A and B are shown apart, each in its own frame.
Chain A
């Protein structure tokens, strides 16, 4: 549904987005991650046709955004960053206006507005003026605007920003549910959100894609992912650590506590050996020596570790 190719954007001589390429199919939810100023919003603005790219192409629903902007925009819903709204309108008035721009009039418009109000839990404020709404409600109003025409493609720039925990949960579920039939791209700084909702995630840094894969793929790239955590009780003078180091494929041992008769810590494998095989090796060693195995499990990488290790460079 969304095909983005070699997208570039320069502001003056500054490169904000530098050759971004990705595709999103129907039924996919793509999470956009990256540090502040990485170029997430700029990319989304080009995909939605707000910014003209310096180079590259954007196809939405097979329609070129540069050649037929109106047609391409018609199958797209967009929630801009910071949820801009016309402050002098009521919530219903605002949604009605956006429905009209989407080509919905009369009964169809009423139905669309009611449905959006319902989906975003805005019924209680429907006639309230937008500039007296709280931040979360403003955000939800703008979100309602993006789904008013039930678009096939949704671009959401930080959709859960400013929402309370309950609403965050609702919006995540909503995105997940809509993601089954639509193509969705959303950016966020909340990494659990990515794991909870996305079928794929892209990490972008300095305008370039630095990682692209399912959340599980990405987690595997964390330093220390797939390490085996073990707690072994042996006998005095067993030298558990030394024995563990002898196992083929062990790269590094990171003990948490290690003394004469016991060991607790992580065993990291070189990537030549599968983590499951390493676990078996360790178990075999333990039983051969008649030690006791108290704990053994494979550690999952954490997304924030991946994020930090990949996008580290600009912190320094």
Chain B
């Protein structure tokens, strides 16, 4: 199939461009330091007797992705606009969707590598105690979906601007809102400050945000529904990306 080949060609270029520059290495190192740091200092990882990974290790991931996923994704399309290579890419015999998917998969691959590199921690814990592998696996899946959802948001934002800085700031802001609105404390505070009639609306909006789905999933209820949720968020963001790219050509 030529469409898979095209997606793969774009993927390959994008993926190697991450590793041809320091970007990927810097982000991977910061990510690893951050997950371990949060886990050891704020997670009480060593003090919990049950050596359960899921809470202390994974609970900080959303906050890390909020910043680092936009850092990975910010160049996806803004760089293309800035260099003018958009004109090359869009006059090649490939469809915009193939380019969008290829680029998105490349950035998602960076996160797959990042998560794989956290395996030593899991290994340590398995060595220390006998953790339940079910919740660990589902937490990994939840964590990964969280990362690539933030990435999809960034992809959409980057398609609108040629400035990586603007893309980064706006994407972090959006991811922050999508995360905060999922926090129980934030939701309660908002509900208190609004008339009672608004409660259902607020809860519904909160439900549409990332965080509650993340916790559901990482609790070990690897729910099909939550995967579907993240998948539709990603699809929606990529559709916005497509729209932004096409509107620049109109």
Contacts and interface: CB of A to CB of B under 8 A. Distances in A.
Interface of A: 45, 48-52, 69-71, 73-74, 76, 78, 80, 82, 84-89, 93, 97-98, 100-103, 105, 142, 145
A89 B10 CA distance: 13
Contacts of A76: 91
Given A52-B249, A100-B9, A78 B17 contact: no
B83 A87 contact: yes
A2 to B, nearest CB: 14
Task: Say whether chain B's binding surface is mostly helix, strand, loop, or mixed.
Answer: helix
A222 B210 CA distance: 69
B87 A84 contact: yes
Contact of A103 (B5, B17, B84, B91): B5
A198 to B, nearest CB: 23
B235 to A, nearest CB: 22
A285 B50 CA distance: 119
B88 A80 contact: yes
Contact of B13 (A52, A71, A85, A97): A97
B91 A70 contact: no
Contacts, number: 73
Given A52-B250, A80-B84, A101-B9, A73 B93 contact: yes
Contacts of A69: 95
B90 interface: yes
A102 B93 contact: yes
Contacts of B86: 84
Interface string B178-199: 0000000000000000000000
A102 B6 CA distance: 9
B91 A88 contact: no
Nearest to B85: A84
Q: Interface size bucket, B side? A: 20 to 34
A252 to B, nearest CB: 49
Interface in B66-85: 83-85
Contacts of A85: 83, 85
Contact of B88 (A52, A70, A71, A98): A98
B2 interface: yes
B94 interface: yes
Contacts of A142: 88
A267 B10 CA distance: 64
A145 B88 CA distance: 9
Contact of B93 (A74, A88, A105): A74
B21 interface: yes
B92 interface: yes
B1 to A, nearest CB: 12
A93 B20 CA distance: 12
Contact of B87 (A50, A97, A98): A50
